[in-house]
Amino acid sequence: MADPFEVRMRFTSQLQHLSASSSSATKAANYALRHSEYADDLHSCILEQLERNNINLRANIMYFLPALCDAAKHGLATGGLASEAGVYVRMLERDILSIVDLVAPDDGSGAANVKVVRKVLHALMGRGVLQSQTVRELEELMHGRDNLPGASSPVHDRQHSTHQHTPQGESEGEAAPASKAVRSTPQRGVPRHTHGSHGIRLDKRQIEQRIEEDRERHKRAREGIWAIPQQRGGDLAVDNEYEHVWEGGSDVDSDDYRMAEEETEERRKHLEYDDY
């Protein structure tokens, strides 16, 4: 049996190195599956990393959850190494509200992750992990979280700043000259994007990383856009893509037979000149 501390540290490292590539999520999910006897500790690692890291890694961990559920369900279906793998799904159902609050907090610091949360919630609902009613309630809870707190138009901000600098007893038209000279450029040492009491700022490296990861995910989504998913719980011998092509094809007529005869004759002629 592996050392629990070592298992926890390695899984934490894998969570910290999650990216937009599907291989990183699959690797971490399979690792959690192999050590499902420590599912409670590994699940707590997920919550801790959501609390401690930036919004980019929170989004990557959120995208990792469907891969973990897929691995857990596959382990249960095959009866392989993870006989207790279903505990990951149960703990995810139990703590989904806390996970949503950590990935997209209501203070606006995770506004960029609201779309990520919605997408993953619908993916989990499609996998049967979450009920549709639960997803609707969570979406209602997230309503307005994609809008930054205190965000308004520059005109409103300038008027609010002028109003704060206007001495008492003076009208708006008789405000002191110093109050009219509102700085249009940020002061040195002051964050440029700060809303309310929570400073929301990403450095250039994090912004570029998020752009690259989103581009990679969109690329994978375009690659699999034509794939027809198999029916869950159905007969694996039934190929939905084959059935779709078969139903969309036209009936066989005389032209099809004539074309088949021509292709057969052409193939026969080529075979006569082949040296076997």
Question: What are the residues facing 198 on neighbouring strands?
Answer: 195
Contacts 24+ apart (CB under 8 A), 93-100: 93/129, 93/130, 95/43, 95/47, 96/130, 96/134, 96/138, 97/138, 97/141, 98/47, 99/46, 99/47, 99/50, 99/62, 99/65, 100/138, 100/141, 100/142
Question: Which residue has better confidence, 17 or 228?
Answer: 17
Helix (H) or strand (E) holding 74: helix 55-78
pLDDT digits (tens, 9 = 90+) for 176-185: 444 443 344 4
8-state DSSP, 133: H
Residue 12's nearest CA partner among 37, 31, 36, 33 is 31
Question: Which residue has better confidence, 142 or 203?
Answer: 142
Domains of the chain, CATH where assigned: 4-149 (1.25.40.90)
pLDDT digits (tens, 9 = 90+) for 176-225: 444 443 344 444 443 344 444 344 566 788 788 788 888 888 777 776 66
Whether the pLDDT of residue 273 is over 50: the answer is yes
Rounded to whole angstroms, what are the CA distances from 155 to 22, 108, 184, 191, 195?
44, 22, 11, 20, 16
